Amino acid sequence: MVPELLNLKSKDFVHFLKCLSRISDKAILEVSDHEIYSIVNSDDRSLFLWAKMDGVFGVDATLNLPSVTKLSDVIEMAGSPDVSLGILSNKLQYLGKSIKFDYHLHDDGIITKPKITLAKIKSLKYDYLFYVDKSFLKTLLKNSSIFKDTNKLYIYTEDDHLVWSLCDKTTQNTDSLTVEGGRVDFEMAPFIMKLDNFRLINFDNCLDFKFEINDTGIGCITLRFPGFVLNYIVTSLTN
């Protein structure tokens, strides 16, 4: 029996998988002729990622990946700009000129699906939207390593500007760093993220970095890459 073939651009797909693996090394990929998507969550379920890649893939399948990292590594080993993965009953198979591999899949039901659904993610509405420069974020994360006694990032507005503050307002005598960001035309109460979650976001080489936040304390951070889009869903901490 000739297997169905999943046709991929290696560089984009490997990058897509590596972004997923920062959140979870197990993932369920939903593949259709025109789209691949996956929803994963952090260990404590405080951060969700909906990752979506558009293209022409030539197959419909659900792939239960026991190790996202292993799959990205073996595709990189193939060293080809385009790969065609054969989909068999329990594995993916690659038959290249210089390298061949079998990557075994989990059966349905072994990997626990995140509690948030795609329909729920798509239904979320937001009250505030702003874009952030990557160099600003890199500097902020670099400076956060100095303030090791806090794991919180407060994002709010003050005097018509976004403000980014590394601190912990629930703990006395905690050092803090506050940086003024870009000018905005709205007022927003503090949105509080775990710094550990912020560090899981891979924004290297992204085309743009968009924040959306609503008044109920739910935020979406959207990163657009040449081959795919990442949507990180996070709920604000209470303080």
Q: What is the pLDDT of residue 202?
A: 82
Looking at per-residue confidence, does 186 or 172 come out higher?
A: 186
- Amino acid in position 83: V
Q: State the average pLDDT over residues 184-193.
A: 95
**Residues 106, 8 share a domain:** yes
Q: Pick the last residue of a domain from 66, 82, 115.
A: 115
Position 32 pLDDT exceeds 90: yes
Position 141 pLDDT exceeds 90: no
Q: State the average pLDDT over residues 91-114.
A: 94
Residue 106 domain-assigned (yes or no): yes
Q: What is the pLDDT of residue 172?
A: 80
- Neighbouring CB atoms inside 10 A of 198's CB total 20
Q: State the average pLDDT over residues 21-33.
A: 96
Percent of the chain's residues with pLDDT above 70: 99
Q: State the average pLDDT over residues 197-218.
A: 91
Torsion of CA 73, 77, 82, 87, to 10 degrees: -60
Position 173 pLDDT exceeds 80: no
Instruction: Return the closest-CA partner of residue 16 out of 27, 32, 3.
Output: 27
**Residues 53, 91 share a domain:** yes
Residue 120 domain-assigned (yes or no): no
- What CATH code is carried by the domain that includes residue 56? 3.10.150.10
Q: Pick the last residue of a domain from 86, 115, 144.
A: 115
Residue 123 domain-assigned (yes or no): no
* Domain residue limits at 17: 4-115
- What CATH code is carried by the domain that includes residue 206? 3.70.10.10
* Mean per-residue pLDDT over the chain, rounded: 92
Q: State the average pLDDT over residues 100-112.
A: 96
Pairwise CA distance, residues 82 & 61, whole Å: 19
- Amino acid in position 238: T
Q: What is the pLDDT of residue 238?
A: 83
- How many domains, the chain? 2
Tens of pLDDT along 55-74?
999 899 999 999 999 999 99
Position 230 pLDDT exceeds 90: yes
Q: What is the pLDDT of residue 138?
A: 85
Confidence of residue 176 (pLDDT cuts 50, 70, 90): confident
Q: What is the pLDDT of residue 204?
A: 79
Q: What is the pLDDT of residue 1?
A: 59
* Long-range CB contacts for residues 136-141, cutoff 8 Å, separation at least 24: 136/181, 137/203, 137/209, 140/164, 140/166, 140/179, 141/198, 141/199
Q: State the average pLDDT over residues 186-209.
A: 90
**Residues 67, 18 share a domain:** yes
Q: What is the pLDDT of residue 3?
A: 84
